[in-house]
Structure 1
Amino acid sequence: MKTAQLVFIPFPGIGHLASTVELAKLLVARDDRLFITVLVMNLPLDSKNGPYTKSLSSSSSMSGECIKFVDLPPVNIDTEANPMTFLVSLVEDQKPHVRNVVNKLMAKSDSSPLAGLVVDMFCTTMLDVANEFGVPTYMFFTSNAGFLGLMLHLQDLHDEQNVDTTELKNDPDAELVVPCFFNPVPAKVLPSLVLDHNAATHMFNFVRQFREMKGILVNTFVELESYAIHSLYGAKSPAVYPVGPILNLDGDQSSDIVTWLDDQPATSVVFLCFGSMGHLSERQVKEIACALEHSGLRFLWSLRQPPPKDKLMGPSDYADFKEVLPQGFLDRTDRIGKVTGWAPQVRILSHPAIGGFVSHCGWNSIMESLWYGVPIATWPLYAEQQMNAFEMVRELGLAVEIKLDYRREFTSWNDLTAVSAQEIEEGLRKLMVFDSDIRKRVKKMSQKSRMASINGGSPYSSLNHMINDVMDSLP
């Protein structure tokens, strides 16, 4: 039987790495001719990264089977650098190590032939390595089809019409007609990646390399993003494979949080969580606390401490929540609320007590929330999250809005744009009390996401097409 080997190169942030591993598991489960080696970079920003990869490497279902993990040596990168400069340097400096690993894999007499590299959207420079070995490169786009189409469109505008996207931030009322969206896109929800000169330069370099891929796998499904996906077919881009929802549904089953939720009525609790890299200012934390207390709603709040100022690091847990929350808040809300540090998000969203989710709108979080039928109130922070919020609220009608254009990059301590307690409370009440239509639509999309995941669903067909393309590329 002809077999093939793929080398996966994910970006090391936990949101990228976890979904990439789930894709690898899906591929080898679908076709036993495939063997996958995942190259893991060291990233000091995300405290969950190391424990996660160690647990995978030691897993009996992985080790010695079709998926192997190789830790790449650490490289010396300035953690005080601009975030995009840091990212580009991190990946570029790993090229020699990647070449070395691929050489060793190909030198093994018993190994399957190398069929290609599967790289993250931020690791497209690894095209050079694939070309040196004469194999194709595929990209796993860990965000959605709408964002992919937007970036391809903006790069076209930049390269072919000399449009400076950074100038769009000077006109917050401007709107763009973008082929992958039915509605005009407000400039104020464009990702920061295209509004900053340094970041935009690097980002458009990535997007140019998107077009050199043999194919692009996207973590979405046709039933969710039909308009955006169809706009990509026939466009000036490689083959697009919607293979989602790609989810890591393994959660912490023994958490005291789950015990607390067990005592709450069904769909009564609003869950607030801002992602693995999300943090808020003390001023903003107090506004949230006031909104929660005044609303009287039951709540579970994952509250993280910002990293040291000017350090490119992830947030951590507070030693004592009283240092940031209003005086007496914990005592006054003890009957209806719980404040915690890091929280097992998947396990929480799956709990019947959860009735709504205040989210930063990272794409993995959106997919998890849709899977479990939990409606979202949008509060984006960084990266493409403003675009995700726009798509969920305005384009798809699957979320309510607290904010669409809030921005707080994970290296920023600016709290000039704090959302008021009144705005937050209005969003909470709309999410938990008033907007039953959103809840019904989210429940229907939950059913569609699960139907898409079974044999014969649209992602099943897309994955088969991609596997066939991989096997047909073998010499």
Structure 2
Amino acid sequence: MKKTKLVFVPSPGISHLISTVELSKRLTERDDQLSIFVLVISSPVGPDSESYTQEVAASNTSIQFINIPKADPNLSEALSSPENFYALYLESHRSYVKTAIIDQVLVSESITSLAGIVVDLFCSSMVDVANELGVPSYVFFTSGSAYLGFVFYLPIHNKNGREFETSDPDSIIPTYSHPVPSNVIPSYAFNKHGGYSSFVKHATKFKETKGIIINTFAELESHAVDRLKFDAETPPIYTVGPLLDLEGRKQEPDH
């Protein structure tokens, strides 16, 4: 019997990769006809994750790893906005990701055997790859649902045509039960060199997907989960957390 295939595109960095693998394990435990391909993009800085992926591949034959050729990053972008640099770096791998899916996942089989492409929250540009291949795309949001609501709030705030300012009054963000003061808002929201706009683009891409998988559980963030579920403009959400590395393996430094 031909297995159904699912592709994951995690962000570089061991923490994102571990969460992706833990989700993949749970999916394959529930359905032994599911074959998962994890496309590994090298970190622009820091160590690679080869030892970890080899360890997982040896113990779980339903999860296969495909290393994506590394694009040359423009490190000058990192000086003005690490978030924008990271988004551009991942976007520069888009053609490599598409080629890997065509040549190593689909091979000669019908494209209908590919159930979808699940992209990490920083890999929203890969939604275009799914669209080009004519398959559904999903987001794996490795943070919580309240923070997802903040990301979705950014395009609404962006209608004013400016970034956040430290002097702004408290923001009313639907997934937070109380007003949010500016001194706890992520620093990229104040960045005028691409940091803010890169997350506006992420949020816009998220809305194009068929669903969002969140590393949380409803009882932990009931207010945020309810607000997302009942927002007509938000794709269906699926809470799957907490996805943790409970085996206590020694962690490699993240990106």
TM-score, structure 1 length as denominator?
0.49
CA distance in 2, matches of 1:210, 1:156: 14
How does 1:189-200 map onto structure 2 within 5 Å?
189-197=184-192, 198-200=194-196
- Count of matched residue pairs: 248
Deviation of the 1:170 alpha carbon? 3.3
2:238 to 223, 238, 241: 241
CA distance in 2, matches of 1:12, 1:68: 16
Partner residue in 2 for 1:177: 172
Partner residue in 1 for 2:122: 122
Percent of pairs identical after alignment? 38
CA distance in 2, matches of 1:111, 1:68: 18
How does 1:78-93 map onto structure 2 within 5 Å?
78-82=74-78, 83-93=82-92
Matched, 1:27 2:23: no
Q: 1:139-188, CA deviations, whole angstroms, 9 ceiling, x for partnerless residues?
A: 000000000011112322223xx252332x234xx311211111111111
SS state at 1:206 partner: helix
User: Is residue 213–residue 238 contact of structure 2 (8 Å, CA) maintained in 1?
Assistant: yes
Q: 1:394-446, CA deviations, whole angstroms, 9 ceiling, x for partnerless residues?
A: xxxxxxxxxxxxxxxxxxxxxxxxxxxxxxxxxxxxxxxxxxxxxxxxxxxxx
Matched, 1:139 2:134: no
Q: 1:252 to 1:132 in 2, by over 3 A?
A: closer
CA distance in 2, matches of 1:184, 1:143: 20
SS state at 2:135 partner: coil
CA distance in 2, matches of 1:219, 1:111: 29
1:71 to 61, 64, 67: 67
SS state at 2:37 partner: strand
Matched, 1:158 2:158: yes
CA distance in 2, matches of 1:238, 1:276: 33
CA distance in 2, matches of 1:228, 1:240: 11
CA distance in 1, matches of 2:143, 2:188: 14
User: Is residue 214–residue 238 contact of structure 2 (8 Å, CA) maintained in 1?
Assistant: yes
- Counterpart of 1:94, as a letter, is H
Gap regions ≥5 residues in structure 2: none
Deviation of the 1:8 alpha carbon? 0.4
How does 1:218-257 map onto structure 2 within 5 Å?
218-235=214-231, 236-252=233-249
Q: 1:48 to 1:224 in 2, by over 3 A?
A: farther
Gap regions ≥5 residues in structure 1: 254-274, 278-313, 315-475
User: Is residue 8–residue 39 contact of structure 1 (8 Å, CA) maintained in 2?
Assistant: yes
Partner residue in 2 for 1:41: 41
User: Is residue 5–residue 114 contact of structure 1 (8 Å, CA) maintained in 2?
Assistant: yes
Partner residue in 2 for 1:95: 94
Greater Cα shift, 5-14 or 44-53: 44-53
CA distance in 1, matches of 2:76, 2:163: 26
CA distance in 2, matches of 1:166, 1:193: 9
User: Is residue 154–residue 199 contact of structure 2 (8 Å, CA) maintained in 1?
Assistant: no
Q: 1:335-379, CA deviations, whole angstroms, 9 ceiling, x for partnerless residues?
A: xxxxxxxxxxxxxxxxxxxxxxxxxxxxxxxxxxxxxxxxxxxxx
SS state at 1:241 partner: strand
Q: 1:110 to 1:237 in 2, by over 3 A?
A: closer
User: Is residue 6–residue 114 contact of structure 2 (8 Å, CA) maintained in 1?
Assistant: yes
Q: 1:192 to 1:112 in 2, by over 3 A?
A: same
CA distance in 1, matches of 2:49, 2:24: 17
Partner residue in 2 for 1:14: 14
How does 1:295-314 map onto structure 2 within 5 Å?
none
- Aligned CA RMSD, in angstroms, stands at 2.2
Q: 1:51 to 1:107 in 2, by over 3 A?
A: closer
User: Is residue 120–residue 142 contact of structure 2 (8 Å, CA) maintained in 1?
Assistant: yes
TM-score, structure 2 length as denominator?
0.89
CA distance in 2, matches of 1:149, 1:110: 37
CA distance in 1, matches of 2:11, 2:45: 12
User: Is residue 139–residue 217 contact of structure 1 (8 Å, CA) maintained in 2?
Assistant: yes
SS state at 2:244 partner: coil
Q: 1:80 to 1:18 in 2, by over 3 A?
A: farther
- The structure with the largest alpha-carbon Rg is 1
Q: 1:297-331, CA deviations, whole angstroms, 9 ceiling, x for partnerless residues?
A: xxxxxxxxxxxxxxxxx6xxxxxxxxxxxxxxxxx
